[in-house]
Amino acid sequence: AKEQGRNNFQFYTAELQQQASKSIELENRLRHALQRKEFFLHYQPQVDTNSGQIIGLEALLRWQPDGQALISPEEFIPVAEEAGLIVPIGEWVLREACSQLHRWHRSGLLSPTVKMAVNLSVRQLEHTSLLSTLTQILQETGLKPSQLELEITETAVMKDPDLVVNILHSIHAMGIQLSLDDFGTGYSSLRYLKLLPLHVLKIDRSFINDIGGKQRDQAILESIIYLSRNLDLTVVAEGVETQEQLDFLSRFNCHSIQGYYISKPKSAANIEKLLHKNKDG
Ligand code: C2E
Ligand code: CA
Ligand code: CA
Ligand code: CA
């Protein structure tokens, strides 16, 4: 047994070492990715549950190293955060997403009420230049602050609540909208609803998965929708994949939905095709 324990230990060490060198390799490739223009954005529509109209788009980062397959953000974002690379990468995302939306507004392809939602990492929130970067990007791209929505997660807030709450109040004062992402997956969700100047609450996909399942699980989802309405928050259900889920959310007056059932995240060119198709009926 002792011998086996030792072997297991060696196995784990080898595994850990492999993981560590994999992320060092990723980190090295990430360092050059911006310069090599290996990033691009996909956009996923958020629609009004009743009318089916697009009310916003979420920008989702994609990375395709030269001549290789796409690497999932679930894999490279944590590495970029750890290495501090998420700050310049996140700035690129903001600039790209804001200028894209402004072009769609100007061409009349989208109504000016349609917003762009951009994910923000805690490393960006902690960075001293965030507010001036945001001001600069809005000025450069011509987007109004109210047309930009920043998505933050509870886990991001939890890392340094005092600092983050302060920054979020400054962002709110600029007129930029704030959205709490993956709602319900953190530890003190309800507390943050009281503390943060939020416009939007995004119900985590795991709750949407509960639809059609146990009564108790569904009751939690209903309560989140009800609570958001009473707090005057716009509620977005994430990860809607079926008609059954859509019907349930519509029955319980969930304001808006996002998910594969409506549209997968698409390239800018494919979003344009979708918008032209909608326009032409
Ligand atoms: P997230 O912010 O929760 O984004 C939603 C994720 O769910 C996206 O995965 C999206 O493609 C996926 N999704 C949307 N609808 C459905 C559905 O109906 N079913 C299922 N199964 N999945 C759906 P993606 O694009 O792989 O992004 C993963 C995560 O990476 C994001 O989760 C976010 O945390 C992070 N991320 C993506 N882009 C950025 C970025 O620009 N900055 C930062 N800091 N994080 C980002
Ligand atoms: Ca998000
Ligand atoms: Ca989410
Ligand atoms: Ca997530």
What mean pLDDT value characterizes the chain?
92
pLDDT of residue 184: 86
**What distance in angstroms lies between residue 153's CA and the mean position of ligand 1's atoms?**
12
Give every CB contact of residue 239 below 8 A, 6+ residues apart in sequence. 204, 205, 208, 209, 258, 259, 260
Of 119, 181, 236, 240, the residue with max ligand 1 atoms within 8 A of its CB, to mutate for a pocket test, comes to 119
**Angle 60-61-66 from CA coordinates, rounded to 5°:** 145
Q: What are phi and psi of 234, to 5 degrees?
A: -80, 130
Q: What mean pLDDT comes out for the span 25-36? A: 94
Give how far Cα 281 sits from Cα of 43, 86, 267, 276, 277, Å: 21, 40, 21, 9, 6
Q: Residue 29: which residues within 8 A CB-CB, separation 6 or more?
A: 65
Q: What is the mean pLDDT of residues 220-233?
A: 92
| Interval between CA 1 and ligand 2 midpoint (Å) | 47
* CA 55 from centroid of its chain's CA atoms: 15
pLDDT interval class at 9 (50, 70, 90): low
Rounded to two decimals, what is the model's pTM?
0.94
Residues 6 or more apart whose Cβ sits within 8 Å of residue 226: 252
ipTM of the complex: 0.98
Nearest ligand 1 atom, CA 258? 15
Identify which has the larger pLDDT, 45 or 212.
Answer: 45
Alpha carbon of 181 to ligand 3 centroid (Å) = 5
Which residue, judged by its Cα, is nearest atom 12 of ligand 1? 239
CA of 41 to the centre of ligand 1 (A): 12
Taking the CA atoms of the chain, what radius of gyration do you get in angstroms?
20
Which residues surround the ion ligand 4 when the cut-off is CB under 5 Å?
182
Those residues whose C-beta lies under 8 Å from the C-beta of residue 49, and which sit 6 or more positions away, are 246, 249, 250, 253, 254, 255, 256, 257
Ligand 1 atom with least separation from CA of 241: 18
Spacing, Cα 204 to ligand 2 middle (Å): 10
Which tens digit of pLDDT belongs to each residue from 60-88? 999 999 889 999 999 999 999 999 999 99
- For residues 238 and 267, the answer to whether their CB atoms sit within 8 Å is no
Q: Which residues contact 198 (CB under 8 A, 6 or more apart)?
A: 178, 179, 180, 233
Q: Which of 94, 89, 35, 90 minimizes the C-alpha distance to 65?
A: 35
pLDDT at 1 over 60: no
Pocket test for ligand 1, best of 72, 77, 100 (most atoms within 8 A of CB): 77
Taking ligand 2, which is a single-atom ion, which protein residues have CB atoms under 5 Å away?
A: 119, 151, 181
The helix or strand, by DSSP H or E, that contains position 180, with its residue range, turns out to be strand 177-183
Quote the ligand 4 centre to 243 CA distance (angstroms).
Answer: 22
Residue-wise pLDDT for 84-110, tens only, equals 999 999 999 999 999 999 999 999 999
